[in-house]
C-alpha cells in the first residue's frame, strides 16, 4: 500500500493518463491533464434530478451518471477552481445554470485503481440556457427523473443493459443529509 510519502515511478505515460508503480509495488493510474474531478447533483424546482447518459468505451456500455467532468483540463486554465468547472460542466452537459451551489463532499473514484477524487456539488435554482448534450463530439442524453423515482428509474435502466454510476445515490444521500441539517427540528 502506498503511503503519502512513498515515491512512485511512471511505468507508462499516455496522452491523458499515467500508469504509476509505488516503491512497494502498488500500481495505479493518475490523470495528467486535470487537477480534479467534479460531479453535480442538479435538482429542478419541481424536484426532478437531472441525469446524463453517454457511451463509455472502458465498459462498452451506456452509463447513467451525474453531470460531471474535469477541472483544469482546458488549455491555459490549469488552475480552474472546482466550482467553476462544475458550473461549466453542468451547462455543457445539460444546458442549465444554477443559482445555488453547495459542496456535498469529496470521495475517491476507485481507491485501488486511481488517485483521482470527485468533489460532489449540489445545484438548485436551475435555469435552462441551452440544449446541453456536451461539447467536442460528446453525445450526451439528458434525463429528468423525479427524485423519489430515481432508484426505480435507475433499476429499469439496468434492466435495459445500461450501467448506473453509484455516485448518483451517494450524492442524493448527502443532499438529503444537507437538507435535513438546515431545516429546523422540533424535539418532543
| CATH classification at residue 140 | 3.90.79.10
Grid cell listed for 152: 426505480
78 lies in the same domain as 141: yes
122 lies in the same domain as 40: yes
H-helix or E-strand spanning residue 29:
strand 27-31
Grid cell listed for 131: 440544449
CA separation, residue 79 to residues 29, 71, 123, 149, 165 (Å): 21, 8, 22, 38, 27
In a domain, 188, yes or no: no
pLDDT band, very low/low/confident/very high, at 188 (cuts 50, 70, 90): very low
- The pLDDT assigned to 182 comes to 53
User: Residue 18: which domain range?
Assistant: 1-32
Grid cell listed for 67: 453531470
- The pLDDT assigned to 62 comes to 98
Q: What is the mean pLDDT of residues 143-162?
A: 98
pLDDT band, very low/low/confident/very high, at 177 (cuts 50, 70, 90): confident
pLDDT at 1 > cutoff 50: no
45 lies in the same domain as 17: no
4 lies in the same domain as 48: no
pLDDT at 173 > cutoff 70: yes
* Dist. CA 61–CA 17, nearest whole Å: 21
80 lies in the same domain as 124: yes
Q: What is the mean pLDDT of residues 84-100?
A: 97
Structurally, the chain folds into a number of domains equal to: 2
In a domain, 74, yes or no: yes
52 lies in the same domain as 120: yes
44 lies in the same domain as 7: no
In a domain, 187, yes or no: no
Query: How many Cβ atoms from other residues are within 10 Å of residue 99's Cβ?
Result: 9
94 lies in the same domain as 164: yes
Q: Strands 27-31 and 17-22, how do they pair? A: antiparallel
- Give the Cα-Cα-Cα angle 18, 19, 24 (nearest 5 degrees): 130
* Dist. CA 180–CA 169, nearest whole Å: 17
Biggest CA–CA distance in the chain, Å, is 61
93 lies in the same domain as 140: yes
Q: Which of 40-49, 150-159, 161-170, 174-183 has the lowest mean pLDDT?
A: 174-183
11 lies in the same domain as 82: no
- The pLDDT assigned to 3 comes to 53
Strand (E) positions, 34-170? Answer: 36-43, 48-56, 61-65, 68-71, 96-108, 117-128, 141-146, 163-164
Q: Which has more pLDDT, 138 or 94?
A: 94
Amino acid at each position: 500500500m502506498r503511503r503519502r510519502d512513498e515515491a512512485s515511478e511512471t511505468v507508462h505515460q499516455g496522452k491523458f493518463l499515467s500508469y504509476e508503480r509505488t516503491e512497494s509495488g502498488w500500481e495505479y493510474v493518475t490523470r495528467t491533464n486535470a487537477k480534479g474531478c467534479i460531479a453535480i447533483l442538479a435538482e429542478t424546482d419541481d424536484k426532478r434530478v437531472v441525469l446524463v447518459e453517454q457511451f463509455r468505451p472502458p465498459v462498452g456500455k451506456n452509463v447513467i451518471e451525474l453531470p460531471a467532468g474535469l477541472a483544469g483540463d482546458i488549455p491555459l486554465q490549469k488552475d480552474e477552481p472546482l466550482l467553476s468547472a462544475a458550473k461549466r460542466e453542468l451547462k455543457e452537459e445539460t444546458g442549465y445554470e444554477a443559482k445555488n451551489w453547495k459542496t456535498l463532499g469529496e470521495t475517491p473514484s476507485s481507491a485501488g485503481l486511481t488517485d483521482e477524487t470527485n468533489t460532489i456539488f449540489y445545484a438548485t435554482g436551475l435555469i435552462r440556457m441551452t440544449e446541453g448534450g456536451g461539447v467536442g463530439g460528446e453525445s450526451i442524453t439528458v434525463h429528468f427523473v423525479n427524485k423519489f423515482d430515481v432508484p426505480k428509474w435507475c433499476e429499469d435502466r439496468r434492466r435495459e443493459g445500461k450501467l448506473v454510476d453509484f455516485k448518483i445515490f451517494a450524492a442524493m444521500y448527502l443532499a438529503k443529509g444537507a437538507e435535513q441539517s438546515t431545516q429546523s427540528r422540533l424535539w418532543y
